[in-house]
Amino acid sequence: MKIAEAAKACGLSAHTIRFYEKSDMLPRIERGPDGHRRFTPPLIEWLTLLYWLRETGMPLAQMRQFTALAKAGDAGMPERRKILADHADTLRAKRATLEKCERILAIKIASYGPTEDP
């Protein structure tokens, strides 16, 4: 699969995929005889993970640390697990804050009285 297809499959732009490749956050990408990158299903899974890590607000520096540990193999697994667990904790805290904000907004909206149909 070429980069445009890979971008569509994982949700990242081709530009972002190239950036991640230049940033050494991806495994080696094979190239075909035409010089174009060839994306395999495992690489698409990796790109999809990077998409979701970024989408959920993981800082780029932390993503770089995570990918460096992944390239190190099984030895880095405990640290990778900790990075993901810490990120999950951060997401839970953000979710709790957003839910509180939503409750406060609902109270404020209700204080304006019932909505009027046009």
pLDDT digits (tens, 9 = 90+) for 56-113: 999 999 999 999 999 888 999 999 999 999 999 999 999 999 999 999 999 999 999 8
Tens of pLDDT, residue by residue over 34-47, are 999 999 999 999 99
Q: For the chain, how many structural domains are there in total?
A: 1
pLDDT band for position 114 (cuts 50, 70, 90): confident
Phi, psi (rounded to 5 degrees) for 19: -60, -45
Domain that holds residue 79: 3-111
For residue 116, is it within any domain? no
Q: Is 11 helix (H, G, I), strand (E, B) or coil?
A: coil
CATH number at residue 103: 1.10.1660.10
Q: Token match 């667990």: residue?
A: 85
92: its two tokens = 């839970």
Please state the φ and ψ torsions of residue 31, each to the nearest 5 degrees: -120, 145
Residue 118 lies in a domain: no
d(CA 84, CA 54): 12
Confidence (pLDDT) at 118: 64
pTM, two decimal places:
0.83
81 domain residue, yes or no: yes
